[in-house]
Chain A
Amino acid sequence: MPKDHGIGASSKRREDVRFLTGNGNYTDDINVAGQAYVHFLRSDVAHGRLTKVDTSAAAEMPGVIRVFTGADFEGVGGLPCGWQVTDKHGNPMQEPAHPVLAQGKVRHVGDPIAAIVAETPAQARNAAEAIEIDIEDLPAVIDMKAALQEGAPKVHDDLDNNLCYDWGFVEENKGAVDEAFSKAAHVTTLELVNQRLVANPMEPRVAVGDFNRSTGDSTLYTTSQNPHVIRLLMGAFVLGIPEHKLRVVAPDVGGGFGSKIFHYAEEAFCTFAAKALARPVKWTSSRSEAFISDAHGRDHVTKIELALDADNNFTALRTETYANMGAYLSTFAPSVPTWLHGTLMAGNYKTPLIYVNVKAVFTNTVPVDAYRGAGRPEATYQLERVVDKAARELGVDPIALRRQNFITEFPYATPVAVEYDTGDYNATMDKLLEMVDRDGFDARAAESAKSGKLRGFGVNTYIEACGIAPSALVGQLGARAGLYESATVRVNATGGLVVMTGSHSHGQGHETAFPQVVADMIGIPEDMVEVVHGDTANTPMGMGTYGSRSLAVGGSAIVRATEKIINKAKKIAAHLMEASEGDIELKDGQFTVAGTDKSVAWGDVTLAAYVPHNYPLEELEPGLEETAFYDPANFTYPAGAYACEVEVDPDTGKVEICSFAAADDFGNVVNPMIVEGQVHGGLAQGIGQALLEGAVYDSDGQLLTASYMDYAMPRADDVPSFQVDHSCSTPCTHNPLGVKGCGEAGAIGSPPAVVNAVVDALNRGGHNVTHIDMPLSPSRVWSAMNG
């Protein structure tokens, strides 16, 4: 019987009632009395020197309050980078300044040059057209390899070159890896591109800055996945506002996919301008603006080599990746191609020797940072493509080759610095094969052939490091932040609870799932528990939501705080029942004394805590409110096996996904329905990357895919009805819930399955195609088939 409440129940998402009825409270719904509006004048060239910015005419335009330029921010810090990577020589990465408004140069199309604050949005925009700007065009660097050539134009004049860092991992293993390649019986090599993507959350970014002249307090309302992180970064590094004078509120957030982790110039601007003008200042991004100002994702160019012995055992892996940083370092950009990518290159395999080289490159493009999966999709894609290619070259079954090399004993310390605590990769593969009817493939392929279509089957495995992250470890790896999570559990006098969490939902369903955990622990109905999040004024300092961490890390903090509550409540119950604390049991919201028929209800105890007439005041404080901070001992390692079946129309190159199956091991699951929804969304996004999406720049640095006319988002009819399963469970060994996280899996695991399936279809159709770069658009597939 499926559970109908608590951990393991598919409780309906309570937040959906307001989301689906138009009653959500998003940042753009927030309007502060007297607010003014800002319009950002952005560069329309990719690279140039600002020789003139004359705002005098604009300042006289109707409704204009003030026009700001880079000069107004000279005394203010730039946007900080939250992670410092050390290169293979032991030197810190090159870290350029990132001004709030451009100073001296513009470095990508969309770089903000001036900000016009006016009484209405239209007046601000009108005035922007009156600003006189002269830009001396400079040659743009767009291609990463060209950017690293001697004499290439420099994105940042004060840096040595366009190389942010040249990272080797593990550098000490390089010699041994090279030697293993020299002795290999077979080497498979693949060069590929993991293309640049635009995150495209449904809700564009918004910021509202407010300043209270009577208290001197600043407030920022913003579309953020992590309001505390924004408060710390913006307060301490940009504007010099201490935390106790700065409140950051992120109300309902309409999707983020990583792009709302980062601290953006517009947030700092609105906070700064609100104080400078003593008026609230609001910015709402248009979709067009989002394309050129939200951080992009992926954008890796990789060569990967796999060495095998004569028995097809993987003996070594070597990769060389160029990772595009864009024009500036976004908040966590340097960590994505390194610690979220290099550490995952073992995948599900016991390859003993691995060397990963990553060259991070500055170009005149929008900054690139974490996007759903962040480094792990890039690792999974190249690894699962090269393994598939190896199987094809060796003439062996791609599943058998994978199984032969699976890690089967846990814990397993990889050669790339992480230790998988638990997993069972054969179990998820077995489950996958149950789901997909591989035996029936030939009959289905024959059926496809009757209508002139080529059918293909693709499979892959994946592993990800989630539950980000152990603070001490990431500190050693260059993080300038801790990655714990926090929770305060407040019990009210009549027994209801409020959970104040540092995690912040941008669609994940925290308001439903977190109460399931707390209600289950106490044995009370879920609707007695409410979640408060997204406001630094009423939640403990937390690190937010990304990296599939909210339940694994944030949920664990909630468990710890609830345990403290239960421990204290038991003391109160013991007093009320004149029993020994050690004999008190809590079940179904009732405290009982073991071996007796004595009991008091949850509500009796909570009332006693706040009306302490009969209470052990000499031993125990009244009240019932506890806070816990949880720092994980390790990452969690969700893993799984995915399969995709496609039909390719050889006349047009059009790929249709006939079926897609995902067998995931997420450890324990709190709400299966939410988990399935997360996987569905991830799969749609991964299939979007595989078949449709891609941000394309021309050689001058103009974004050719700057709207939905050219940037292809997946639509409902682009994806099949998914088969998903999470019954294979090896619970995480080091967090109290045994959960691993599920938010990114679908986006990580699905692109290689799709591409493997298309390559399989073409080869079955007699086309000797080894690889096609994503997105596998009809024209690309057709071109691959037709030379």
Chain B
Amino acid sequence: MYEFEFKRPGSVAEAVAALGSEEAQILGGGQTLLPTMKQRLAAPAVLVSLGGIGEIKGVCTDDAGRVCVGGGTPHAVVAVETADSYPALSHLAGHIGDPAVRNRGTIGGSLANNDPAACYPAAVLGSGATVVTNNREIAADDFFDGMFTTALEDGEIITEVKFPVPQAANYQKFLQPASRFALTGVFVAKFADGVRVAVTGASEEGVHRWTAAEEALSANFSPDAIDGLSVSADGMISDMHGSAAYRANLVKVLTKRAVAAAS
């Protein structure tokens, strides 16, 4: 790790100001950034921790019934706080990494990083959530922009994520054997006006919606609705842990299982 200046502002406004300096970098829970810095693959001159900002931590429900999670809320808190209000989200948060990861890693950090094998992007896209930053609101469909890329501007801070609560939802994660990230994960959410299906871990484009499955499931919310569909291996990730064809298979298998579990 190279030397850096460490700042721990107490408010979003102070954080924004701190991020104005040269080569400044936001530090969320540090689950990706810190290992990268230890390997000397990242070398920010100024590290601006969001850990001291109380206003972006915690979970509440807004007037529209949405579950609102502060951007600096660790996974372990989300798992506990949403257990009744949004069980599928709670279960997803409670199964990210291990306890150490869940107590340090934050939803905002995970979304801003947009690792193609991360769990949270599937929940946000699958729920049609809204990502709130220090200066705007971004619909999930506009937020994710391919592996490790999002609509966030430099220095833009995720302050909150607002989740509409579906009638039924479930997340199925198939573990990569070594890292236990999602080799493929599928989040299915059934709303009054239709079904959303978000897939993580599988595509070279990062998290994405499986629209054919959404249409089929909107008409018939049962595992059988998936049977006639096929998933193309084109554009799927292929590595030592699974070929593109294998991941394409997992997308279908996990979608059916998610529907079965949610039904």
Contacts and interface: CB of A to CB of B under 8 A. Distances in A.
List 3 tightest A-B contacts by C-beta distance, closest first: A712-B178, A779-B242, A712-B177
Contacts of B179: 708-710
Contact of A652 (B40, B174, B240, B241): B174
A710 B253 contact: no
A653 B249 CA distance: 11
A704 B183 CA distance: 17
A476 to B, nearest CB: 43
Given A777-B241, A782-B246, A783-B243, A708 B253 contact: no
Nearest to A653: B246
A287 B93 CA distance: 28
A323 B109 CA distance: 46
30 contacts: A122-B1, A125-B40, A652-B174, A652-B249, A652-B250, A653-B246, A691-B177, A692-B177, A692-B178, A696-B240, A704-B240, A705-B178, A705-B240, A708-B179, A709-B179, A710-B178, A710-B179, A712-B177, A713-B178, A775-B177, A777-B241, A778-B174, A778-B177, A778-B183, A778-B246, A779-B241, A779-B246, A782-B246, A783-B246, A786-B249
A768 interface: no
Interface string B234-263: 000000111100100110010000000000
Contacts of A775: 177
Given A708-B178, A710-B178, A711-B178, A779 B243 contact: yes
A150 interface: no
A711 B249 CA distance: 23
Nearest to B257: A651
Contacts of B249: 651-652, 782, 786
DSSP class of B's interface residues: helix, strand, loop or mixed? loop
- In this complex, the interface size class of chain A, counting residues with CB under 8 Å from chain B, is 20 to 34
Contacts of A652: 174, 249-250, 253
Nearest to A692: B177
A91 interface: no
Interface string A744-775: 00000000000000000000000000000001
Contact of A778 (B40, B178, B242): B242
A174 B230 CA distance: 54
A704 B178 CA distance: 12
A777 B250 contact: no
A288 interface: yes
Nearest to B1: A122
A713 B241 CA distance: 14
A711 B1 CA distance: 23
Contacts of A782: 246, 249
Contacts of B39: 288
B90 to A, nearest CB: 21
Contacts of A777: 177, 241-242
A724 B40 CA distance: 46
Interface in A677-711: 691-692, 696, 704-705, 708-711
Contacts of B242: 777-779
B67 to A, nearest CB: 30
Nearest to A714: B177
Interface in A618-659: 651-654
Interface of A: 122, 125, 288, 651-654, 691-692, 696, 704-705, 708-713, 775, 777-779, 782-783, 786
DSSP class of A's interface residues: helix, strand, loop or mixed? loop
Given A652-B174, A710-B240, A712-B177, 12 more contacts: A122-B1, A288-B39, A651-B249, A651-B253, A691-B177, A692-B178, A705-B178, A709-B178, A710-B241, A778-B246, A779-B246, A783-B243
Contacts of B240: 696, 704-705, 710
B184 to A, nearest CB: 9
Interface in B207-249: 240-243, 246, 249
Interface in B167-213: 174, 177-179, 183
A711 B40 CA distance: 21
A564 to B, nearest CB: 52
A5 B249 CA distance: 57
A692 B240 CA distance: 12
Contacts of B1: 122
A390 to B, nearest CB: 31
Contacts of B250: 652
B20 to A, nearest CB: 28
Contacts of A783: 243, 246
Query: Could you say which of A651, A704, A775 has the most chain B C-beta atoms within 10 Å of its C-beta?
Result: A651
Query: Could you say which of A691, A779, A782, A783 has the most chain B C-beta atoms within 10 Å of its C-beta?
Result: A779
Contacts of B241: 710, 777, 779
Nearest to A122: B1
A288 B174 CA distance: 26
Contacts of A711: 178
Nearest to B117: A709
Contacts of A692: 177-178
A567 to B, nearest CB: 57
B54 to A, nearest CB: 33
A548 B247 CA distance: 43
Contacts of A125: 40
A632 B102 CA distance: 54
A654 B184 CA distance: 13
Contacts of B174: 652, 654, 778
A783 B242 CA distance: 9
Contacts of A779: 241-243, 246
Nearest to A782: B246
B248 to A, nearest CB: 11
A637 to B, nearest CB: 35
A786 B240 CA distance: 17
B226 to A, nearest CB: 12
Contacts of A691: 177
A653 B242 CA distance: 11
Contacts of A705: 178, 240
B238 to A, nearest CB: 10
A779 B241 CA distance: 7
A399 B255 CA distance: 41
Query: Could you say which of B1, B177, B242 has the most chain A C-beta atoms within 10 Å of its C-beta?
Result: B177
A102 B80 CA distance: 54
A85 to B, nearest CB: 32
A782 B248 CA distance: 12
Interface in B68-84: none
Nearest to B174: A652
A779 B177 CA distance: 10
Contacts of A122: 1
A493 B240 CA distance: 63
A708 B253 CA distance: 27
B138 to A, nearest CB: 29
Nearest to A709: B179
A122 B250 CA distance: 44
A763 B177 CA distance: 24
A711 B253 CA distance: 25
Nearest to A777: B177
A130 B58 CA distance: 46
A713 B177 CA distance: 8
Nearest to A708: B178
Contacts of B178: 692, 705, 708-713
A230 B183 CA distance: 43
A691 to B, nearest CB: 8
Interface in B52-76: none
A399 B183 CA distance: 38
Nearest to B178: A712
A48 B46 CA distance: 38
A450 to B, nearest CB: 15
A779 B176 CA distance: 10
B254 to A, nearest CB: 9
Contacts of A713: 178
Nearest to B2: A126
Contacts of A778: 174, 177, 183, 242, 246
A777 B1 CA distance: 35
